[in-house]
Amino acid sequence: MSITFRTLQTMARAYRQICGGEEPWIALGNFRNAWYGYARDRRDALVSEPLAKPAQDTELTQRWSAFCAATVEFLCERYDVPCPQWVHDPRYTLETPWWHSERVDDPKIRERLLQTTPGAFARRKIFCGNRLYQNKYEMSAWVQEARAQGITDPGEVWRYARLKEISIHGG
């Protein structure tokens, strides 16, 4: 469906919302819904606008600006969308690593995050693993694709969809 009844949730808008106090996963979740759902035919418009620097730049806003830039690079690469230049600005590389785990002291967890984090994030010193933008839009499409191919065993249908997911997202 390509219609929308509300303002397009661009990455620039998502970042403005994060800086304004919105829960980051909600702002980014709404961006994800636009990317995979109602605005998937306008992906370049979702990422072209650079992030606006907030009035008060804090560690939190710096971290999430880097995360937003990494997201754009990651998604553009995977879905063959021209990547905007703004994502390569050095200010979107963190000075100190940002580990997405409450158990960062556990060497096993660190090792896994190092191994699985996609390059666009790791280059910016964000270590978040590879389960970031998995989504029900693609998964349900792949499930239907499997069924259309005559796969009937539920476990095999699920496996087909997961392999597709892994091929795109890495996990």
Asked if residue 128 binds other proteins (CB under 8 A), the reply is yes
Q: Which residues contact 137 (CB under 8 A, 6 or more apart)?
A: 33, 36, 37, 40
| Smallest distance, other proteins to C-beta of residue 49, A | 20
C-alpha dihedral over 145, 151, 155, 160, to 10 degrees?
-40
The pair of structure tokens assigned to 25 is 């996963």
- 14: nearest Cα among 81, 62, 64, 55: 64
The verdict on 6 binding other proteins (CB under 8 A) reads yes
Pattern 56-95, other proteins, x by CB under 8 A: ----------------------------------------
Closest residue by Cα to residue 125 from 93, 166, 82, 147 = 93
Beta-ladder partners of 98: 126
Q: Are 92 and 60 in contact (CB under 8 A)?
A: no
Site string for other proteins, 32-51 (x = CB under 8 A): -x---xx-------------
The residue count for binding other proteins (CB under 8 A) is: 43
Q: Which stretch binds other proteins (CB under 8 A): 43-51, 53-61, 84-92, 156-164?
A: 156-164
Instruction: State which of residues 108, 148, 150, 167 lies at the interface with other proteins (CB under 8 A).
Output: 108
Closest CA to 63 of 40, 36, 93: 93
Identify which range of 17-25, 44-52, 77-85, 86-94 contacts other proteins by CB under 8 A: 17-25
Question: Which residues bind to other proteins, rule: CB under 8 A?
Answer: 1, 3-6, 22-23, 25-26, 29-30, 33, 37-38, 100-103, 106, 108-109, 112, 128-129, 131-132, 134, 136-137, 139-140, 143-144, 153-159, 161-162, 171
